[in-house]
C-alpha cells in the first residue's frame, strides 16, 4: 500500500480541513485524563484508611452532582460559546487541581467532599465535551467509528489507571503520592488537548458561513426550548434513556470495584485488565466488522450480552476465572453498544439540534455517574453487593427491551415502506 493510500485511509470519515494528527492529539489527551481518572479510582480504598466506607464514598462522589449538572446545562444552553477543545482543556486543568488536592488530605475523609466537587464536575465536563470535539471533526458516516475510537481510548485509560496506581501505592509514594502523580498526567493531557485547536479550523466559522450562504442574515438556529422539544419527540429520546442506564452501570462497576473485589477476596486488577482488553477488542477490532449490520440490531445484541454478564457477578464468589470472564463480557457489550447509542442519538436528530444532543446526553450520563453512587453506596452498606447487582441487572434488561423494540419498529416501518401501494 502506498503512502498516499495510507493517508487516505487514515482520513476516511474525517471532515474536510481536519488533519489526522489532530485526531491523534485528541486521543492521546483523552488517554491522559482517563488514566488519571483511573488512578483516582483507588480513592475508596484510601477512604477506608481514613475511616470511611462505601456509603461515605457515595457522598464524596455525589457532592459534584449539582455543579456538574449546572456546568453541562451551560454547554447545552450555549453549545458554541467556546470551542469544545478549549472547554475540555479547562476541565482537565481543574481535574489536575482536584487530584493534587486529594494528595494533601490526611487524617479524616471529610475534606474529600470538597475535592469530590472538583473531580466530579471536571470529569463530567470532560466526558461530555470530548465527544463534541470529535463530532466536529468527523462526517455522519464516520461518527460511530470515531466515537468508538474515542470511547475506546477512554476505557483504556480508565482500565490502565487503577493497575498503574496499584503499583505506585506499593512504593514510597503511597496513595497520596499516587494522586499527585495523576495530577501531573493531567498536565500533559491539557497540552495535547489544546494542540487540537491549533491543528483544526473553527467549525463554528464554517457553520456560520454555510448558514449565511443559505439564509442570508436570517438567524438559522432554534431556541433551547424548541431544540429540547424536538429531541424529546424524536427517536433520540430512546438513546438518551439507554445512555442514562449505561451511566448507572458504569459508575457502579468502576467506582465500587475495588471494595467489591476486597469483599470477595479477589484482585480488582483482574476486572480492570479483562474489562479494558474487551473494550479495546470491541471498539478497535469488532466494531469495524459489525458495522455492516444495522445499528439498532447491533445495539440490541450488545446490551443482551451485557445483561448476561452483569448477572454473572451475582455468582462469581471468589472464583477468579469467572470474575475475569464476567468482566470481559461486560466490556465487550459495553464497548460495542455505548458509542453506537451515542452516534445514533446524533444521527436520528435534526441538523438544527445536533449541537445540543451530545451535551444533553452528557448531562444525563454525568447526572447518573455522580448521583447514582449515593444510592449504590447506601444499597451496598445496607443490603450488600448482591442487592446492587440485582438492580443493575434490571437496568440492563430495560436497555435490552428498548433495543429489541426499536429493532422491531424499524423493521415494521421498512416493510411498510416496501409494501406496494394499492
Q: Of the given ranges (50-59, 215-224, 230-239), which has the lowest mean pLDDT? A: 215-224
Phi, psi values for residue 416, rounded to 5°: -65, -40
Which distant-in-sequence residues (6+ apart) come within 8 Å of 198 by Cβ?
none
Q: How many domains does the chain have?
A: 1
Average predicted confidence (pLDDT) for the chain? 80
- pLDDT tens for 267-323 read 888 888 898 888 888 777 776 666 677 778 888 888 898 999 999 998 888 899 999
Mean pLDDT of 204-219: 46
> Coil, strand, or helix at residue 269?
helix
Q: Is residue 352 in a domain?
A: yes
- pLDDT tens for 172-201 read 888 889 999 999 999 999 999 888 878 776
- pLDDT tens for 134-151 read 877 777 777 767 777 887
CB 113 within 8 A of CB 59: yes
CB 146 within 8 A of CB 23: yes
Give the position of cell 514510597.
Answer: 172
CATH number at 197 reads 1.20.1250.20
Please state, in angstroms and rounded to a whole number, the distance separating the CA atoms of residues 244 and 126.
Answer: 17
- State the distance between the two ends of the chain, measured CA to CA, in whole angstroms: 53
Predicted pLDDT of residue 17: 61
Q: Is residue 3 in a domain?
A: no
Q: Is residue 1 in a domain?
A: no
Residue-range definition of the domain harbouring residue 92 = 17-208+222-408
Is the pLDDT confidence value at 162 over 60?
A: yes
Predicted pLDDT of residue 52: 76
The residue among 104 and 211 whose pLDDT is bigger is 104
CA distances to 250, 260, 391 from 313, rounded to whole Å, are 14, 10, 12
Angle between helices 84-102 and 112-137 (to 10 degrees): 160
- pLDDT tens for 340-397 read 887 777 777 666 676 677 677 777 887 888 788 888 888 988 898 999 999 999 999 9
pTM, whole model, 2 decimals?
0.70
* C-alpha cell belonging to residue 348: 436520528
Please state, in angstroms and rounded to a whole number, the distance separating the CA atoms of residues 147 and 28.
Answer: 14
> Coil, strand, or helix at residue 300?
helix
Instruction: Return the number of other C-beta atoms located less than 10 Å from residue 419's C-beta.
Output: 8
Q: Is residue 214 in a domain?
A: no
Q: Is residue 300 in a domain?
A: yes
- pLDDT tens for 68-121 read 888 877 776 776 677 788 888 999 999 999 999 888 888 777 888 888 889 988
- pLDDT tens for 42-74 read 888 888 887 777 788 888 878 888 888 888 777
* C-alpha cell belonging to residue 114: 470538597
Q: Is residue 7 in a domain?
A: no
Give the position of cell 424524536.
Answer: 234
Q: Is residue 216 in a domain?
A: no
Which distant-in-sequence residues (6+ apart) come within 8 Å of 154 by Cβ?
30, 31, 34, 127, 130
Give the position of cell 473531580.
Answer: 119
Predicted pLDDT of residue 97: 92
Give the position of cell 479547562.
Answer: 90
Q: Is residue 11 in a domain?
A: no
Amino acid at each position: 500500500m502506498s503512502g498516499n493510500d495510507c493517508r487516505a485511509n487514515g482520513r476516511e470519515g474525517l471532515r474536510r480541513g481536519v488533519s489526522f494528527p489532530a485526531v491523534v492529539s485528541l486521543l492521546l489527551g483523552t488517554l491522559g485524563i482517563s488514566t488519571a481518572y483511573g488512578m483516582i479510582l483507588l480513592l475508596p480504598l484510601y477512604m477506608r484508611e481514613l475511616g470511611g466506607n462505601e456509603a461515605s464514598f457515595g457522598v464524596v462522589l455525589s457532592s459534584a452532582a449539582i455543579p456538574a449538572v449546572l456546568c453541562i446545562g451551560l454547554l447545552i444552553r450555549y453549545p458554541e460559546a467556546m470551542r469544545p477543545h478549549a472547554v475540555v482543556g479547562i476541565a482537565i486543568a481543574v481535574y489536575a487541581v482536584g487530584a493534587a488536592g486529594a494528595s494533601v488530605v490526611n487524617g479524616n475523609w471529610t475534606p474529600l467532599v470538597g475535592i469530590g466537587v472538583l473531580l466530579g464536575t471536571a470529569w463530567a465536563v470532560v466526558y461530555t465535551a470530548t465527544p463534541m470535539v470529535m463530532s466536529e471533526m468527523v462526517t455522519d458516516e464516520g461518527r460511530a467509528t470515531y466515537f468508538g475510537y474515542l470511547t475506546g481510548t477512554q476505557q483504556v485509560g480508565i482500565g490502565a489507571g487503577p493497575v498503574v496506581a496499584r503499583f505506585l501505592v506499593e512504593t514510597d509514594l503511597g496513595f497520596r503520592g499516587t494522586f499527585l502523580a495523576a495530577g501531573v498526567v493531567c498536565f500533559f493531557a491539557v497540552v495535547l488537548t489544546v494542540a487540537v485547536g491549533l491543528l483544526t479550523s473553527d467549525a463554528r466559522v464554517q457553520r456560520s458561513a454555510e448558514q449565511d450562504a443559505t439564509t442570508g442574515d436570517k438567524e438559522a438556529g432554534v431556541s433551547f426550548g424548541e431544540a429540547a422539544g424536538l429531541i424529546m419527540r424524536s427517536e433520540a429520546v430512546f438513546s438518551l434513556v439507554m445512555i442514562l442506564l449505561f451511566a448507572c452501570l458504569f459508575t457502579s462497576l468502576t467506582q465500587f470495584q475495588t471494595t467489591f473485589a476486597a469483599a470477595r477476596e479477589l484482585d480488582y486488577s483482574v476486572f480492570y485488565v479483562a474489562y479494558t482488553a474487551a473494550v479495546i477488542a470491541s471498539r478497535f477490532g469488532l466494531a469495524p466488522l459489525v458495522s455492516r449490520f444495522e445499528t439498532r440490531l447491533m445495539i440490541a445484541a450488545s446490551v443482551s450480552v451485557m445483561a448476561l454478564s452483569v448477572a454473572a457477578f451475582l455468582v462469581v464468589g471468589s472464583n477468579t476465572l469467572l470474575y475475569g470472564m464476567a468482566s470481559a463480557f461486560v466490556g465487550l457489550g459495553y464497548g460495542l453498544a455505548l458509542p453506537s447509542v451515542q452516534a445514533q442519538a446524533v444521527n436520528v436528530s435534526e441538523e438544527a439540534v445536533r449541537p445540543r444532543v451530545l451535551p444533553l446526553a452528557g448531562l444525563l450520563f454525568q447526572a447518573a455517574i455522580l448521583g447514582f453512587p449515593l444510592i449504590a453506596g447506601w444499597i451496598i452498606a445496607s443490603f450488600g453487593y448482591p442487592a446492587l447487582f440485582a438492580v443493575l441487572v434490571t437496568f440492563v434488561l430495560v436497555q435490552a427491551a428498548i433495543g429489541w423494540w426499536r429493532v422491531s419498529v424499524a423493521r415494521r416501518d421498512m416493510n411498510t415502506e416496501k409494501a406496494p401501494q394499492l
